Amino acid sequence: MGNIRYETSFASAWFVDLLRASGRLGRMLHNGVDIVLFQLTTGQQVSAHFIDSALPLYEIRGVLADNASRNIATLYVLWADMMLPSDGQLYVPDDWMEGLFTLYNSSIYAYEIYSNEAYIFPVHFRGEGVRRLAQFGSTVSFAGLGARRVKTHLPGLHGEWLVADFGGISGTAHDDLREQAGQSRLSEQYALLGLAPGASALEIRSAYRHLARRFHPDLNAEAEANEAMLKLNAAYESLLRALDEQANA
């Protein structure tokens, strides 16, 4: 149990660091480790819940209803290693998991810890019906964090809720690597890392390391892995160089 609490507290602290680095944090209101309440620079309050064990659908509904009544947007982030299927797995989600990905455009936000860093990314649930294909997306950009209202019509989760998400949830890492048409060169580099233009240096490093774990030829035997890694390296170097130039201008 101690290890679980460490993973959760580490991910929560990393989340707050990324939030500060993005410039989106107005002020912290409460930090209970697994529940972090904060105000964005827009004035919108957000309650982020870091989940490391299964929770019943009625509990999700209660949290959503209570937060919405106080104009607080709810964000759920699940421990990927413990709570979610692996990348590329066909999976039959529980009712509470279906409730979550219904709130977030067929995706669930996740965190994982690797080499003293935490990664926040969406896990997409593709397809329809009982079985879904889980696909891991690239790390989120905190610059897009905001709130929206969403209606759900599931048994046990019927109503209108106020949720927080990262705006335009990214596609899979493979999709991000191919997304180039109609964008400027610098915007393409951001897209390769699954980030929106204006992401911080910390977000760029986090996104790069997350994707490098998946596409490095030593870890990925797919034919396209080497080419993908070369593109990631070039994008990473270009973006950090651009940030340095902006800082020294």
Reported as a single tens digit per residue, the pLDDT across 212-239 is 888 877 777 777 778 888 888 888 888 9
Alpha-carbon distance of 95 to 102, in angstroms, equals 10
Residues 85, 196 within the same domain: no
Looking at the structure, tell me whether residues 154 and 205 fall in a common domain. Answer: no
Sign of the alpha-carbon torsion through 21, 26, 27, 32 = negative
Q: Which residue has the higher pLDDT, 179 or 144?
A: 144
Q: Which of 127-136, 184-193, 236-245 has the lowest mean pLDDT?
A: 184-193
Do 125 and 19 reside in the same domain of the chain? yes
- pLDDT band for position 67 (50/70/90)? very high
Domain count for the chain, please give it.
Answer: 2
Considering the chain, what is the average pLDDT of its residues? 86
Which domain, by its residues, includes 9?
Answer: 2-165
| Contact indicator for 142, 18 with CB cutoff of 8 Å | yes
**Measured distance CA(207)–CA(200) in Å, rounded:** 11
189 and 85 in one domain? no
Give the DSSP per-residue string, 109-169.
EEEEEETTEEEEEEEEEESSSS-EEEEEBPPP-GGG-EEEEEEEEETTEEEEEEEEE-SS-
Other CB atoms within a 10 A radius of the CB of residue 174 amount to 16
Of 165, 193, 209, which residue sits at a domain end? 165
Last residue of a domain, one of 135, 165, 195: 165
Is the model's pLDDT at 175 over the cut of 70?
A: no
Q: For residue 190, what is the domain's CATH number?
A: 1.10.287.110
Residues 111 and 30 in one domain: yes
Based on the fold, state whether residues 128 and 11 are members of the same structural domain: yes
Collapsing DSSP states into helix, strand and coil, what is residue 110?
A: strand
